[in-house]
Structure 1
């Protein structure tokens, strides 16, 4: 039920599941379905979540804090060690900023121009999340193309999975590109369906409309200048 289905497919699979296991009339199952907009991937993928779908991020933070703070500490000791934890986090951030500014990223995919564009714009963390998307693009194909004057509709399919298609709508200049998977709305990074459409149209750089400012190297500097 957490699969990345379209809304219609999710509803069909849900009703098939509750009927199969005989829980369609159970109140807890009905309540869960009523709250589907807060947990089902099909319904939340259009909401920007910065890839935070689980409690894993909080758990990682708790693990770091537990290195410094213990339950036996007094209030004074807690403040002292929590301050050490904050200093550790700030030091790691400075280190990441330095690597982002001075580090030389190694390009590994076959889409060198798009990968170089990503390396020039994204932080290292986001870049390394984006590289697998470029790798998956080789399994994607544009199987249909429709010209509607001001925009184009591309039908994208993954090799080996016939019948499961995505539709990518793009303007003629590729200044605006959107996909029915809505992953860019959820995470802020172009999906593999959009990338294969860029390749199909011989676009060598990621359009600015697809680069979320908060994931770029310059955002911290620009953010500070806006608040100055």
Structure 2
């Protein structure tokens, strides 16, 4: 920790004054996007490495060189320290970004390209790579749809690389590795958008399969089976749906336009379509639909198993298909864990403290079922309050219908709540009368008694810890 603090103090980004500018007219055109990086830097950025790193920086110069992707596989990104990272130098910016991206993937976060600096000759001399959730969310926007979770948490994790003019190498001039958020497990990190990608070979193979009548879930299952697990793929099923939908929408729109204009036999139009990879990106709106379940969880399980297990399968085929089904279920569970862990829901109810507390404790899906209770609690009012030795009883009713009443008992010793509607006992989600009592008692945190273990974010970690203790096992000798 002492070495990291010294590194953070010694290695910092260069200001405009230190780099030869006056800080006012030293900026080039800012905010111009070029791919996923943008320019917002100074001109005239030229400095020697000795001024910032000292003479010892050039010791063992060749041993600390990172020139290609193959060399990144020899680096232990789990145990590398900040001081060791600062001593590395790279062939170009792309290798430096890939180095930082792999470091982020192995440590539970994702990064993106940020600002670049140019000199008076318009040559790129410095670039920043920052945390993907850096910055803050714009609270002024009003949306009709449910807003996405807030992933902008203001984390200042950053790495800045600067060109060394004598050797032409890219050296790290600044490195910050202090996070203000939780880092993800290895089983969830690959699902972050910064680590998901599909290469050209995968796209070509994927776009050919629907022509033979193969459905998207079956295509994804084949890729999972080839990679020996969904965790070994670099993309999710949603990415595959997006790419296949984008590909076939383009084909449908193109054929519709050609037929409408009567240009089906035009050679120039055919040549233009064959060079479609060189076209500019088009913005297309798509249609979305949601699935539904008719009766019960059991029927949903039967429907899922029916996609894999058939009556003609023998024992070997059954085990193989059943394991594929389990793998798909684990993939869905891991994706739901990712949605619960990454980002915070946008607060919408009048009771921000209770809503924020529920968002931190409940899974994302259960939280969305609970949030309407916060709005409905605004219409309830505590009419009477009676005390006893063991509990306090609150009688509540709505302003529009005072005849209908609910009784909520609060047991102070155990901090338990019980309502006459029995919603908590049946569904495991606090009802609006209980929420109204929490507001009446001026509580800002959802009590743990109102958060069931299997609805909490920590449920999976508790089960994993229980299994790792060795208690959850079956002894075959006990049944002989």
Structure 1 length-normalised TM: 0.67
Query: d(CA) in 2 for partners of 1:85 and 1:172?
Result: 46
What's the offset of the Cα at 1:114?
A: 0.6
Which of the residues 391, 397, 402 maps onto 1:157? 397
Moved more, 143-152 or 182-191: 143-152
Kindly indicate whether the alpha-carbon contact (under 8 Å) linking 2:344 and 2:359 is maintained by their aligned counterparts in 1.
no
**Max radius of gyration: which structure?**
2
Which of the residues 464, 469, 472 maps onto 1:224? 464
Number of the residue aligned with 1:177: 417
What's the offset of the Cα at 1:90?
A: 0.9
Which of the residues 125, 129, 143 maps onto 2:369? 129
Number of the residue aligned with 1:63: 303
For residues 30-49 of structure 1, the aligned pairs below 5 Å read: none
Structure 1's unaligned 5+ residue stretches are 1-53
Kindly indicate whether the alpha-carbon contact (under 8 Å) linking 1:105 and 1:119 is maintained by their aligned counterparts in 2.
yes
**Per-residue CA shift, 1:164-201, capped at 9, x if unaligned?**
21111114588232212222222222111110011112
Q: Quote the RMSD (CA, aligned, Å).
A: 2.4
What's the offset of the Cα at 1:85?
A: 1.2
**Per-residue CA shift, 1:29-56, capped at 9, x if unaligned?**
xxxxxxxxxxxxxxxxxxxxxxxxx951
Which of the residues 337, 360, 379 maps onto 1:139? 379
Which of the residues 435, 442, 447 maps onto 1:207? 447
Kindly indicate whether the alpha-carbon contact (under 8 Å) linking 1:174 and 1:207 is maintained by their aligned counterparts in 2.
no
What's the offset of the Cα at 1:207?
A: 1.6
Structure 2's unaligned 5+ residue stretches are 1-293, 470-480
What's the offset of the Cα at 1:223?
A: 2.6
Query: d(CA) in 1 for partners of 2:378 and 2:336?
Result: 30
Secondary structure of 2:310's partner? coil
**Per-residue CA shift, 1:108-131, capped at 9, x if unaligned?**
222111110001111112212211
Query: d(CA) in 2 for partners of 1:94 and 1:150?
Result: 43
Which of the residues 60, 79, 94 maps onto 2:319? 79
Query: d(CA) in 1 for partners of 2:389 and 2:322?
Result: 59
Secondary structure of 2:335's partner? helix
Number of the residue aligned with 2:359: 119
What's the offset of the Cα at 1:75?
A: 4.2
Query: d(CA) in 2 for partners of 1:129 and 1:99?
Result: 15
Query: d(CA) in 1 for partners of 2:326 and 2:416?
Result: 40
Distance 1:83 1:225, change over 3 A: closer
Where relative contact order (Cα < 8 A, 6+ residues apart) is larger, the structure is 1
What's the offset of the Cα at 1:93?
A: 1.1
Kindly indicate whether the alpha-carbon contact (under 8 Å) linking 1:153 and 1:169 is maintained by their aligned counterparts in 2.
yes
**Per-residue CA shift, 1:128-160, capped at 9, x if unaligned?**
221122222123221222233653211011343
Distance 1:161 1:83, change over 3 A: same
